[in-house]
Structure formats: C-alpha cells, structure tokens
C-alpha cells in the first residue's frame, strides 16, 4: 500500500484523541520503520491482566476515563526504553499525554517527529463504541467500518481472541475526550513550537491516512 519510502528515524510519537486510529496506523509505521510500538495503554492493561499493584491502581483511572498519574506513566516508560529492542528508538502510542510527560520524555529519549491524527469528536464515539481488537496480534477492527472478514477470527493471525476493551463504552469515551482536550491536546502546540509536529486528517480511509503519515515522515527522515 502507498509509496515506499526509506524512513530512518529515532523515536516517533503517535498523537491524537482516543479512537483516532493510532493503534491501526502504528502497525503500518512499525512495518516501515522497524521501530517497536510502545503503548502505555497496552502496558497498563497488561499490568492489570497480571493483577499487579500498578495495574490495579491504574484501573481506577482507566475505568473512569481519567489519565493515570504522570509519575506512574513516566516510571513505566523509563523502564521500557531500557529494553534491548528500544535501543534504536521506539514508536510511542498514547504517550506522552501531558506536558509533564513530554518534558520527562525529552530528558529520556530524542523524539524526531510527532504524528497528530485529527478526528472530530462527533466521529469518535461511533468509532470507539464499535471497535474490537485481537488479543494476540493487536489488529484493530470495527463492527461497521472495518469488520474482520470472518466473524470472531482475526484476519492477520487467525486467532479467535477478538476482544472489546472495558473502557470502550459511551460514558467513558466522553470522559476520555474531556481529558484529551484539557490535558493532551495542548501538547500539539508544544511539539509544533519545537518543529516536530506532522498533522494528518484522520477522518478518512485507513489507507489514505497511512499514505499521508508516510509522506509526512519521509519529509522528516534523514
Ligand atoms: P489508551 O489505550 O491509550 O486509550 O489508554 C487507555 C487508558 O489508559 C487511558 O484512558 C488512561 O486512563 C490510561 N493511559 C494510557 N496512557 C496514558 C498516559 N500516557 N498518561 C496517562 N494515562 C494513560
């Protein structure tokens, strides 16, 4: 799909409201750059599935659609970027979400580009309330816009572990959007002032959004 571009970058941030398509586009960026995806939401859900104290603490915030405290998130990232696969940079998905997180990140890791996927609020609720993903490979689907070819089976890896997230309900989505606008959206300007922001219209077909992301990144690569 799309133009093949040689992309050689350090870390990239995928930025945007919940349901903008960050997880979907992460798969494309990973295949083009080889960078591992680091999703703080996935890390928190994994911690919860393990039943760790951190996961249980985070659950209170996640269920309410609120941001988990910066100290917890920054601690997770500090540990994650020390792992071997992160030595050449990573693709951050859903991190940073506050100015404090971005400031902490700037001390830990060089960020080359921040890809902001913009989708209007009124589209977000429909997108999130119908979505599900593969617990084994992370492929993301939607009841109406992008269903798996065979119901209950992942197109990418044939797993039958297709799941919906506990916080993908209308009430929580509204809180998550509020948190996004008040705490996360100001980061776009913060990164724009540092010359790192690539803005992409996310209210289009998955492949069109992907092509724009790759062209935007090509302009930033070495
Ligand atoms: P996500 O999977 O990115 O939509 O994140 C799901 C939930 O995890 C969010 O609604 C927050 O409660 C929490 N979370 C994930 N990443 C962060 C972050 N960088 N800062 C604060 N909370 C986060």
Among 1-10, 40-49, 66-75, 137-146, which stretch is predicted with the lowest mean pLDDT? 1-10
The rounded Å distance from CA 186 to ligand 1 centre is 16
Q: Is the confidence at residue 4, as pLDDT, over 50?
A: no
Paired tokens of 18 = 């919940």
131-156: pLDDT as tens digits: 999 999 989 899 998 999 999 999 99
12's enclosing H/E stretch is strand 11-15
Cα torsion 165, 94, 129, 26: sign? negative
pLDDT confidence of residue 221:
57
Annotate 133-198 with DSSP letters as a single string. Answer: EETTT--EEETTTB--SSTTS-TTT--S-EE--TT-SHHHHHHHHHHIIIIITHHHHHHHHTT-EE
Of the candidates 35, 11, 8, which has an alpha carbon nearest to the alpha carbon of residue 221?
A: 8
Mean pLDDT of the chain: 92
Q: Which residues are catalytic?
A: 22, 97, 131, 165, 176
> CB of 18 closer than 6 A to ligand 1?
yes
Distance 184 CA to ligand 1 centre (A): 11
Residue 35 has pLDDT above 80, yes or no: yes
Sign for the CA dihedral angle at 86, 66, 187, 134 comes to: positive
148 CA to centre of own chain: 21
Confidence at residue 76, expressed as pLDDT on a 0 to 100 scale: 96
Confidence at residue 219, expressed as pLDDT on a 0 to 100 scale:
79
**pLDDT at residue number 8:** 54
Residue 123 pLDDT more than 80?
yes
Read off the pTM: 0.90
């Amino acid at each position: 799909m799309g133009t093949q571009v040689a992309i050689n970058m350090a870390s990239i941030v995928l930025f945007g409201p919940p349901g903008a398509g960050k997880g979907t586009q992460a798969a494309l960026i990973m295949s083009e750059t080889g960078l591992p995806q680091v999703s703080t939401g996935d890390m928190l859900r994994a911690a919860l599935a393990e039943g760790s104290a951190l996961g249980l603490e985070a659950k209170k915030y996640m269920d309410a659609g609120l941001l988990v405290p910066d100290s917890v998130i920054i601690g997770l990232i500090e540990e994650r970027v020390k792992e071997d696969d992160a030595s050449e940079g990573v693709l951050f998905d859903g991190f940073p979400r506050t100015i404090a997180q971005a400031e902490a990140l700037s001390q830990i890791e060089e960020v080359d580009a921040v890809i902001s996927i913009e989708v209007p609020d009124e589209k977000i609720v429909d997108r999130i309330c119908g979505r599900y993903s593969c617990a084994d490979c992370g492929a993301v689907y939607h009841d109406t816009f992008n269903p798996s070819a065979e119901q209950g089976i992942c197109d990418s890896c044939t797993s039958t572990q297709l799941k919906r997230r506990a916080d993908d309900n209308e009430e929580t989505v509204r809180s998550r959007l509020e948190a996004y606008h008040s705490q996360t959206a100001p980061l776009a300007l913060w990164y724009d002032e540092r010359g790192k922001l690539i803005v992409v219209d996310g209210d289009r077909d998955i492949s069109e959004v992907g092509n724009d992301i790759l062209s935007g990144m090509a302009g930033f690569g070495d």
